[in-house]
């Protein structure tokens, strides 16, 4: 059984020119149209098309074209600055409450690590922010701002997003390191030259951990491949959710198994656009652990379900019970709804 899709899409406006291009399969024409709208700062028309998309497939076509339109240099640009963001999935825990400022005291030291391991390729670095930004800051940028890139202070001077660490609680946080580099339009960008995280991830992890050292806090900052701002936000969101889900499964399955044995599992879709995974046991009604997986409009729900069920299988758990209908977000008392049966 497949999960029902809890997301709400638009009416599929038949007269919208961007949606017409998306349905016609004209990827190049759609990208050019989106780029021209961003150049003219007509962000409202782009947002309107995204809001009108009638399905995940239609939304994803528009979304991918928008990323290509505003993140990559035009073929007319001989040499062009390219803004990039490196997602960092940060697992944090502490022996006492603390705050990690997410301001890097020596960002130059981190840049040297990237340069030494070929992350920048043939590009020349224009700048690297000393702040780790939150995903909300990237997702809130208008297409016209992303297109202008490092020239826009809203990108260049993005504020840091501190991490609140609770005592005895291990959590996953997502932050982004922004920068800009210049290279010929035909040359590989940092998204290509830095794509092999296996070649540079470990030294970068060590360098970032040094930058974020905070008393009473244990940090594991894991980098993901650099990408344009929108693409990095999307990929980083997914990487952060998967890391959080892995942590949830490791801790929750261990706790329930130690008490009563293997838990039962349910999957359900909820009206706020989430999939929820619940581990429970019929032997103790109080032993319930729940995880909420928020869906992006461009996500493939079937693929998300496959990732979840694959992790359940890796943990040696039985196939989950799947609710056939979309459930409310909360109970009548206002608590988040986690259905076990």
The tokens for 199 are 């070649």
Give me the pLDDT at residue 340, please. 82
State how far the Cα of 219 lies from the Cα of 222, in Å rounded to an integer.
Answer: 10
Element of type H or E holding 171: strand 171-184
Helix, strand, or coil (residue 6): coil
Give me the pLDDT at residue 289, please. 94
Query: Nearest to residue 136, comparing CAs of 44, 209, 233, 204?
Result: 233
With 80 as the cut, is the pLDDT of residue 31 above it? yes
Angle 16-138-274 (CA atoms, 0-180°, nearest 5)?
75
Name the least confident of 71-80, 105-114, 181-190, 307-316: 71-80
* E strands present in the chain: 79-94, 98-100, 124-133, 163-165, 171-184, 217-223, 264-270, 274-280, 288-294, 321-322
Express each pLDDT in 16-25 by its tens digit. Answer: 999 999 999 8
Give me the pLDDT at residue 75, please. 64
Neighbours of 45 (CB within 10 A): 16
Query: Nearest to residue 174, comparing CAs of 231, 247, 223?
Result: 223
The tokens for 205 are 């992890």
Mean pLDDT estimate for the chain? 93
Give me the pLDDT at residue 284, please. 87
Percent of the chain's residues with pLDDT above 90? 80
Express each pLDDT in 135-166 by its tens digit. Answer: 999 999 999 999 999 889 999 999 999 999 98
Give me the pLDDT at residue 71, please. 93
Res. 189 pLDDT band, cuts 50 70 90: confident
Domain ranges of the chain: 17-71, 79-237, 260-322
Express each pLDDT in 269-296 by its tens digit. Answer: 999 999 999 999 988 888 999 999 999 9
Give me the pLDDT at residue 339, please. 81
With 70 as the cut, is the pLDDT of residue 76 above it? no
State how far the Cα of 241 lies from the Cα of 46, in Å rounded to an integer.
Answer: 27
State how far the Cα of 66 lies from the Cα of 74, in Å rounded to an integer.
Answer: 13
State how far the Cα of 229 lies from the Cα of 71, in Å rounded to an integer.
Answer: 7
State how far the Cα of 74 lies from the Cα of 43, in Å rounded to an integer.
Answer: 19
**CA distances, 180 to each of 28, 188, 192 (Å):** 25, 14, 14
Express each pLDDT in 116-137 by its tens digit. Answer: 998 988 777 778 999 999 999 9
With 70 as the cut, is the pLDDT of residue 77 above it? no
Query: Nearest to residue 295, comparing CAs of 340, 341, 241?
Result: 241
The tokens for 271 are 């009206």
Give me the pLDDT at residue 216, please. 93
Q: Are 163 and 173 in contact (CB under 8 A)?
A: yes
Name the least confident of 31-45, 71-85, 86-100, 212-226: 71-85
With 80 as the cut, is the pLDDT of residue 341 above it? no
Q: What is the CA radius of gyration of the chain?
A: 22
Express each pLDDT in 289-321 by its tens digit. Answer: 999 999 999 999 999 999 999 999 999 998 999
């Amino acid at each position: 059984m497949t999960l029902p899709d809890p997301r709400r899409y638009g009416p599929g406006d038949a007269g919208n020119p961007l949606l017409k291009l998306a349905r016609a399969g004209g990827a190049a024409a759609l990208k050019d149209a989106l780029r021209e709208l961003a150049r003219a700062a007509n962000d409202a028309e782009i947002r309107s098309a995204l809001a009108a998309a009638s399905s995940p497939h239609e939304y994803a076509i528009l979304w991918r074209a928008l990323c290509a339109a505003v993140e990559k240099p035009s073929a007319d640009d001989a040499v062009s600055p390219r803004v990039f963001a490196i997602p960092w999935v940060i697992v944090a825990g502490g022996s006492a409450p603390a705050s990690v400022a997410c301001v890097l005291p020596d960002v130059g030291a981190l840049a040297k690590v990237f340069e030494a391991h070929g992350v920048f390729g043939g590009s020349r670095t224009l700048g690297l922010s000393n702040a780790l930004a939150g995903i909300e800051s990237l997702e809130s940028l208008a297409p016209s701002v992303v297109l202008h890139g490092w020239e826009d202070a809203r990108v260049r001077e993005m504020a840091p997003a501190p991490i609140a660490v609770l005592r005895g609680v291990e959590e996953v946080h997502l932050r982004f390191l922004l920068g800009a580099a210049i290279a010929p339009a035909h040359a590989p960008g940092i998204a290509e030259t830095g794509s092999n995280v296996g070649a540079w991830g470990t030294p970068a992890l060590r360098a970032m951990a040094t930058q974020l050292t905070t008393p009473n806090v244990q940090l594991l900052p894991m980098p993901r491949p650099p990408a344009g701002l929108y693409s990095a936000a999307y990929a980083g969101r997914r990487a952060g959710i998967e890391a959080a889900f892995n942590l949830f499964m490791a801790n929750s399955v261990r706790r329930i198994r130690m008490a009563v044995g293997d838990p039962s599992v349910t999957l359900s879709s909820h009206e706020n656009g989430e999939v929820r995974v619940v581990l429970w046991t019929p032997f103790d009604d109080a032993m319930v652990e729940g995880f909420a997986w928020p869906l992006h409009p461009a996500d493939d729900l079937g693929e998300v379900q496959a990732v979840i069920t694959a992790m359940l299988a890796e943990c040696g758990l039985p196939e989950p019970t799947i609710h056939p209908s979309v459930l409310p977000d909360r109970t009548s008392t206002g608590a988040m709804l986690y259905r076990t049966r």
